[in-house]
Structure 1
Amino acid sequence: MALIFKEPHVIRATYRIVTPMFIGDAEQKASGISPASVKGALRFWWRALRWGQIRTEIQSDTAALQRLHKEEAGLFGTSADNGKAARFTLRVTSDAKSAAPPTPQPGIQYLLGQGLYHFNNGYLRPALAADAFLAIELFVNPKSDKQAQTDYDAQKTQLTQALLALGLLGGLGSRARKGFGSLSIESLTYGKDAVAIPKNLTELSNILSGWKCNAGLPPFTAFSSKTRIDAIL
């Protein structure tokens, strides 16, 4: 008997923007946070988490990359082969406003680099101010057959973990890898269930340890046995 689902499953995450976020439209105006920007960040963290899980099952980087690409297309959609829609739709809500960040110290000026700051002219583009709210909702569309339901459950878990990783380690916008646009996750719900958010260094360490795997050095940025994460209090 086929399984019939009438409503999509909803995953919700709320964050606090903790550092100025240089993100905007094609004209580099800080006009808000687009779903496309969030989807791109979720792709990054999904790959980072999923790679090691696949690589420990497949003893070849090439074959593992092929499977990763196939799973990513099935979850996030693809424009290849006549196109395929993403398994979910995404909604973004934020009260972030454009504002001029405080004058940075010399070390921060270096991290901003070319394109964002000039030592004579100051900031070269606006940013969304820190201490703002961001909510992300994923409406995951189920399928009607049994195998698709098995995949669906796994994909929901993967998306939930990607949202968590974004709020523990990531950010959005230019120079996100240098600490700008950093996000701090405040809540995460998976349907009606709340996902635990680490409250201290021990709880954070336990989550991060679970993301490491036995895979060797990956061919792109991803969790592996070589991963090192330093926490500074």
Structure 2
Amino acid sequence: MHIITAQFELVSPMFIAGYTNQNQDDYLTIRPTAVKGALRFWWRALVYPALRQQSANAQDALKKLHKAEAALFGSAASDNSNSGQSLVMLRIPENAQIKDTVKAAEDVSDKGAGLSKYSGCQYLLGMGLYNFKTKLQRAYLNVGTSFSLQLAFKPAVTPEQIAQVKQALLAFGLLGSLGSRARKGFGSVQLLAWTEDQQPLAVPLTKQDYKTAVAELFNQGQRLQELPPFTAFSAYAMADISLSDKTATAAINSVGEKQQRYRGYGEGSKGPHLVSGKPALQLFTDDHDNMLRILQQNAKPVQPRRLVFGIPHNVRFSDNKGSVSIELAQKNQTRRASPLFVHVHRFGQEYVAVQSLLAAEFFPDLAEVKYKGKAYPATAIDWSVITDYLTLPVYQGAQAQADGFTAREAIFKGSLA
């Protein structure tokens, strides 16, 4: 039986449920189903561009993709007698230990990562994981937690399928994350070593080797000259090493502070508006003013430009003016995950924040967006809102300015950059 083994390390705190998640302080573990789900995600992202090139249209390519995925990873139901059977068996021989779980109350202790102490981390954690009154809401697996995977392939697997899984596993180990807020920099995993039938495979250990390996993954999508119908590599993707710091917490905090400053309108009824104690840039005053008109005048909504960062998008006004909740109005679909991925990677004592944009069709056909419970037709997304955030050396607001990612190192420049 063909076997691939891989050793991983967590390079940022991971908010993930254990096998029994009865309370926030359970002993946390990494479940095979979570890893397999991540591998399937990266497999789809990598395989789709080639299938689209071989197909007359996107619909035909999607049918081929679903058929290939079911054949490799199994499916829930099918007319085929082999339905549900995967050609890849995944297990986790070495998992997180009890010592790796940090309880919510331990976050600011010597054992924890200290996420609660930093405004940028608080911002990226969001309301589900952080509360300003009660602080961190859940336990997490700490930086340095190690785990291993074993992938065993059944005899019916083809060499092409094995190669595809290897590429997905590599993408997972270079760009991937697990758990809540996985696209915000938390739960980042790093491939340390891997073997194929006990033969060592190459791992990019230096920053330059890492950039080369990631660029090769993105280059596979170059052939796709249209936005994919789901999150996948294409000519419209891009990736940067945005910044580096001495700890994962510091790197995530820096990303969070810059993103909050870039997106935020600020608070303050007296004097200048502030974002985390700094003058607000107010780069999106039109978003703010349009949402305020909904509250005060019951005006017809104008779709916020910042919606490109993901849905739901909740706009809260200070001075008790109220709030506007924005979500998709599709049946069984109110969310649209962010196309921006933040991943932390370690090179010795240096932790880098890698930000990737995997642009795709943002809305389903005939989509509607719901504002305070009332639906309106969705309009086109402005991708420059994210590309400016990633690439501008200075964010120039009307009353203030702030540095962008001035030390960014481009890995892959797509058509949107």
TM-score bracket, normalised by the shorter chain, equals 0.7 to 0.9
**Structure 1 residues 47, 104: closer, same or farther in 2, change over 3 A?**
farther
Counterpart-to-counterpart distance in 2, 1:84 and 1:99: 36
Counterpart-to-counterpart distance in 2, 1:88 and 1:166: 16
Residue 196 (structure 1) aligned with residue 173 (structure 2): no
Q: Which residue number corresponds to residue 217 of structure 1?
A: 227
Off by >4 Å, runs of 4+ in structure 1: none
Residue 226 (structure 1) aligned with residue 219 (structure 2): no
Residue 85 (structure 1) aligned with residue 98 (structure 2): no
Alignment of 1:68-217 (within 5 A): 68-81=65-78, 83-92=83-92, 93-96=94-97, 97-100=100-103, 101=107, 102=114, 103-143=116-156, 152-211=158-217, 212=219, 213-215=222-224, 216-217=226-227
The TM-score, its normalising length taken from structure 2, stands at 0.50
**Structure 1 residues 176, 104: closer, same or farther in 2, change over 3 A?**
farther
Counterpart-to-counterpart distance in 1, 2:205 and 2:138: 35
Q: Which one-letter code corresponds to 2:228 in the other structure? A: P
- Is 190-199 or 180-189 further displaced after alignment? 190-199
Deviation at 1:125, TM superposition (A): 1.2
Return the structure number with greater relative CO, CA threshold 8 A, min gap 6: 1
* Contact 1:160-1:190 at 8 Å conserved across structures: no
Q: Which residue number corresponds to residue 323 of structure 2?
A: none
- Is 161-170 or 187-196 further displaced after alignment? 187-196
Cα deviations by residue, 1:11-35 (Å, 9 ceiling, x for unpaired): 1111110111100145464521111
Deviation at 1:225, TM superposition (A): 0.9
Counterpart-to-counterpart distance in 1, 2:27 and 2:128: 14
The TM-score, its normalising length taken from structure 1, stands at 0.88
Higher radius of gyration, 1 or 2: 2
Q: Which residue number corresponds to residue 411 of structure 2?
A: none
Deviation at 1:127, TM superposition (A): 0.7
Gapped regions of structure 2 (runs ≥ 5): 108-113, 245-417
Q: Give the % identical residues.
A: 39
Q: Which residue number corresponds to residue 44 of structure 1?
A: 41
Counterpart-to-counterpart distance in 1, 2:206 and 2:143: 22
Gapped regions of structure 1 (runs ≥ 5): 1-7, 144-150
The 3-state SS of whatever aligns with 2:240 is coil
Aligned positions, number: 219
Match of 1:15 among 8, 20, 29: 8
* Contact 1:167-1:184 at 8 Å conserved across structures: yes
Please, what is the CA RMSD of the aligned residues? 1.7
Counterpart-to-counterpart distance in 1, 2:137 and 2:84: 38
| Structure ranking higher in helix proportion | 1
Q: Which residue number corresponds to residue 64 of structure 2?
A: 67
| Structure ranking higher in strand proportion | 2
* Contact 1:74-1:86 at 8 Å conserved across structures: yes
Deviation at 1:95, TM superposition (A): 3.0
- Is 19-28 or 73-82 further displaced after alignment? 19-28
* Contact 2:89-2:152 at 8 Å conserved across structures: yes
* Contact 1:77-1:86 at 8 Å conserved across structures: yes
Counterpart-to-counterpart distance in 2, 1:104 and 1:51: 41
